[in-house]
Chain A
Amino acid sequence: MTLELFLFFTLALIALVTAGGMVFSKSAVYAALNLVTNFLSVAILYLLLDAPFIALAQVTVYAGAIMVLFLFVIMLLGVETLRAEFDWKKIWLQAVLALALLVEGFVMLFQRMGQAANLPFNTASVLTNPSEMAKVLFTDYLLPFELTSILLLVAMIGAIVLTKQVKKRSL
């Protein structure tokens, strides 16, 4: 067994266990922490696939920003413990849909295994190499990048406008 294969199985096991833990844990905080671990192990799986950019994006966006938001909301609302009982009758539709997705994933996997991705364009180099990504971002996609910065500024102004305390108004 090579080191790579060993790493893969370890990470896959961690990802599966934490995904299960996230669904089944009674405490919302534990569920969130399980999800973080899941995100991190998947991020390392991306690294094994030679996709460092996606791996780091996974860590910063999902494991970082989104999870902090989740935990923040959980603790702010004080819903650390989930009272709802786990009831198969209530979630049968979700279960069926999830199962369908799983089957679809397996079918696609075995059908396409060993084939090159059949895309009319080449994204491989851009997606794997962060410096390639940066080159594209700051040349071809400079305008969307700059516009996004303005968009974030506007969102920030909006948030400040809407959360500032005001005296009684007449309208």
Chain B
Amino acid sequence: MTQTDFFTLLPAILLTLWACALLLVDVFTPGAHKGRTAFLAALGLAFTLGVTFLQPGEYTGFNGMVVRDGFANFLISLFLLTGLLGVAVAYGYLRRMGIERGEYYSLMLFSIVGMMLMAQATDLLVIFIALELLSIPLYVLAAFAYPNTASEEAGLKYFLLGAFSTGFVVYGIALTFGATGATSIAAIVAATAAGVANKALLLSGAALILVGLGFKTALVPFHMWTPDVYQGAPTSVTAFMAAGAKAAGFAALIRVFSSAFPALAADLTPILWALAALTMILGNLVAIAQSDIKRMLAYSSIAQAGYILMAFVAFGSDLARPVAISAALFYLVAYTVSSFGAWGVVISLEKEQGKDLQIADYAGLGKKFPWLAAAMTLFMLSFTGLPPTIGLIGKLYLFRAALQGGLYWLAIIGVVTSLISAFYYLRVVLTMYMKDGQPDVARETWLTATIVFSALATVIISLFPAPLFDWASRALLMVMK
């Protein structure tokens, strides 16, 4: 391992070592003080975030298997932020629900390492291992509240379907290898350019990889697991995986498709078009029928993935691709902060035995807890794409990218489904303010801090989007040679 190799993977190496150390520290932490582990995990994440900022720059390591470019640095920072928010919402929740165990935080850190590698990998082999490293901790975390049957069911379902989808990825990688004789993106590009690659085989490989990554990002029709897993998993886990796993799936999807398969764009674009349209339509329509807030947010997260994919459909055009990637990155940030805020509100209302998780339970929140209701309103507006929120700005960028790619019909579908989504998002707002009820919330410092942070970020970035969007625009993929 050379120095360049080390710097390429610096954030991932730091976090891996920290997660291992955390396991050892946790053994010697008495049961009543498990909060220390949470604090240490947050410290590790913050430290890694600091190092990532102080040590940016472009590196290629391990024979071109991983890179650290602007794109990776942006996403690494996002994943670390996701981790920090994830620790903050879990801290009080785990204690309240009686499932506080130190391994929770270690598993979370390992999962973040997997996410980072998904963003950095330039070799399909590494993407496969990163995908597993990201998923296996999430399977365990989803079942973390065992012997609660809903949580066990969530873990098992996620594991079985996740293993199934990984099979698709591996098969796709194998076919790509068969077509080009390589798993590294650079070699795939070279083989495609030289014309030695078998196109049918390569196309099948790309399609199968798309299926596997579509599962992680919860695109329709690979979304079946999402509502059940999001509902059954402990809510703090749901918040973490809704933001993190989706962003990581998109990270790999964007890098692989825009670096390795631009030559296949003519064949892949119609497939992506159909996936994006289906995801936006089905996600939003089915969300209307939900009465459970966790299921509603699950379908909402499916729909949000559709919007991100919409921008990326025209990835073959050199003009539209950079716009689409920066819009997708910006929207991932928007989605992460709004979604953590909304899940934070859900966590503060949730009671033991999964009580107070119906939308009807939010009645009267506006009167009794005006600030919490205001924050929830903000997050719902952000999901819909209404001012004054980051969601509006993010969606504008996505639509602009789609129009740049000439996807007029898809953009129209996006606008119409956004209108439909207003119905179920604003229904939550209506319930909070217009109906009477006596809701009760948990007051936990770090949970409140998360909600306040998310609310502030949602508003402030919408007023001053330029710095973040500039950063996203500069977050370019390294050109594979």
Residues of A within 8 A of B (CB): 119-121, 140-144, 147-148, 150-151, 153-155, 157-158, 160-162, 166, 169-171
Say which residue of A119, A147, A166 sits within 8 Å of B130 (CB atoms): A147
Q: B147 at the A/B interface (Cβ < 8 Å)?
A: yes
CB pair A157 B23 closer than 8 Å: yes
CB pair B136 A151 closer than 8 Å: yes
Q: Which of B38-93 contact A (CB under 8 A)?
A: 61-63, 65-66
CB pair A142 B62 closer than 8 Å: yes
For the complex formed, measure the closest distance between the CB of A44 and the CB atoms of chain B, giving whole angstroms.
27
Chain B residues with CB under 8 Å of A121's CB are 181-182
* Contact A170:B352 (CB < 8 A) given known A120-B196, A147-B126, A147-B133: yes
Q: List 23 A-B contacts (CB under 8 A).
A: A119-B181, A120-B191, A143-B126, A144-B129, A147-B133, A148-B129, A150-B16, A151-B129, A151-B133, A154-B107, A154-B136, A154-B137, A161-B101, A161-B103, A161-B107, A161-B140, A162-B140, A162-B143, A162-B155, A166-B146, A170-B353, A171-B99, A171-B353
CB pair B98 A120 closer than 8 Å: no
For the complex formed, measure the closest distance between the CB of B94 and the CB atoms of chain A, giving whole angstroms.
9
**Complex: A65 Cα to B137 Cα, angstroms:** 24
0/1 string, B255-274, CB within 8 A of A gives 1: 00000000000000000000
**Complex: A142 Cα to B65 Cα, angstroms:** 10
CB pair A141 B125 closer than 8 Å: yes
For the complex formed, measure the closest distance between the CB of A126 and the CB atoms of chain B, giving whole angstroms.
13
Q: B370 at the A/B interface (Cβ < 8 Å)?
A: no
**Complex: A63 Cα to B321 Cα, angstroms:** 49
Q: B243 at the A/B interface (Cβ < 8 Å)?
A: no
* Contact A169:B132 (CB < 8 A) given known A143-B62, A147-B126: no
Chain B residues with CB under 8 Å of A169's CB are 97-99, 145, 147-148
Q: B215 at the A/B interface (Cβ < 8 Å)?
A: no
Residues of B within 8 A of A (CB): 1, 16, 20, 23, 61-63, 65-66, 97-99, 101, 103, 106-107, 110, 113, 117, 123, 125-126, 129-130, 132-133, 136-137, 139-140, 143-148, 151, 155, 180-182, 191, 196, 234, 352-354
**Complex: A158 Cα to B143 Cα, angstroms:** 10
A-B interface pairs (CB < 8 A), number: 85
**Complex: A166 Cα to B151 Cα, angstroms:** 14
Mostly, the B contact residues are helix
Mostly, the A contact residues are helix
Say which residue of B62, B136, B353 sits within 8 Å of A158 (CB atoms): B136
Say which residue of B123, B126, B148, B182 sits within 8 Å of A171 (CB atoms): B148
Chain B residues with CB under 8 Å of A153's CB are 20
Q: Which of A140, A144, A148, A160 has the most CB of B within 10 A?
A: A144
**Complex: A147 Cα to B137 Cα, angstroms:** 14
Q: Which of A143, A151, A155 has the most CB of B within 10 A?
A: A143
* Contact A157:B103 (CB < 8 A) given known A143-B65, A143-B66: yes
Chain B residues with CB under 8 Å of A119's CB are 181
Say which residue of B23, B63, B66, B144 sits within 8 Å of A140 (CB atoms): B63
CB pair A154 B133 closer than 8 Å: yes
CB pair B107 A170 closer than 8 Å: no
**Complex: A141 Cα to B129 Cα, angstroms:** 12
Given contact pairs A144-B123, A158-B136, A162-B140, a sample of 12 additional A-B residue pairs in the complex whose CB atoms are under 8 Å apart: A143-B62, A144-B65, A144-B126, A147-B129, A151-B136, A157-B106, A157-B107, A158-B140, A161-B103, A169-B147, A171-B145, A171-B234
* Contact A161:B144 (CB < 8 A) given known A120-B191, A121-B181, A143-B126: yes
* A140 and chain B: residue at smallest CB distance: B63
Chain B residues with CB under 8 Å of A141's CB are 125
**Complex: A111 Cα to B265 Cα, angstroms:** 35
CB pair A147 B117 closer than 8 Å: yes
**Complex: A50 Cα to B20 Cα, angstroms:** 42
* A154 and chain B: residue at smallest CB distance: B110
**Complex: A147 Cα to B144 Cα, angstroms:** 24
* B111 and chain A: residue at smallest CB distance: A154
**Complex: A32 Cα to B93 Cα, angstroms:** 47
Say which residue of A143, A151, A162 sits within 8 Å of B146 (CB atoms): A162
Closest 10 CB pairs of A and B: A158-B140, A121-B181, A171-B97, A143-B62, A120-B181, A170-B98, A170-B352, A171-B145, A147-B129, A169-B98
For the complex formed, measure the closest distance between the CB of B240 and the CB atoms of chain A, giving whole angstroms.
16
* Contact A158:B148 (CB < 8 A) given known A150-B110, A151-B132: no
**Complex: A42 Cα to B148 Cα, angstroms:** 46
Chain B residues with CB under 8 Å of A161's CB are 101, 103, 107, 140, 144
For the complex formed, measure the closest distance between the CB of B26 and the CB atoms of chain A, giving whole angstroms.
11
**Complex: A151 Cα to B166 Cα, angstroms:** 14
**Complex: A46 Cα to B240 Cα, angstroms:** 47
* Contact A150:B133 (CB < 8 A) given known A140-B63, A144-B125: yes
* B352 and chain A: residue at smallest CB distance: A170
**Complex: A150 Cα to B110 Cα, angstroms:** 9
**Complex: A153 Cα to B140 Cα, angstroms:** 13
**Complex: A106 Cα to B209 Cα, angstroms:** 31
**Complex: A171 Cα to B97 Cα, angstroms:** 5
**Complex: A141 Cα to B136 Cα, angstroms:** 22
**Complex: A160 Cα to B107 Cα, angstroms:** 12
Chain B residues with CB under 8 Å of A148's CB are 129
For the complex formed, measure the closest distance between the CB of A156 and the CB atoms of chain B, giving whole angstroms.
10
Chain B residues with CB under 8 Å of A120's CB are 180-181, 191, 196
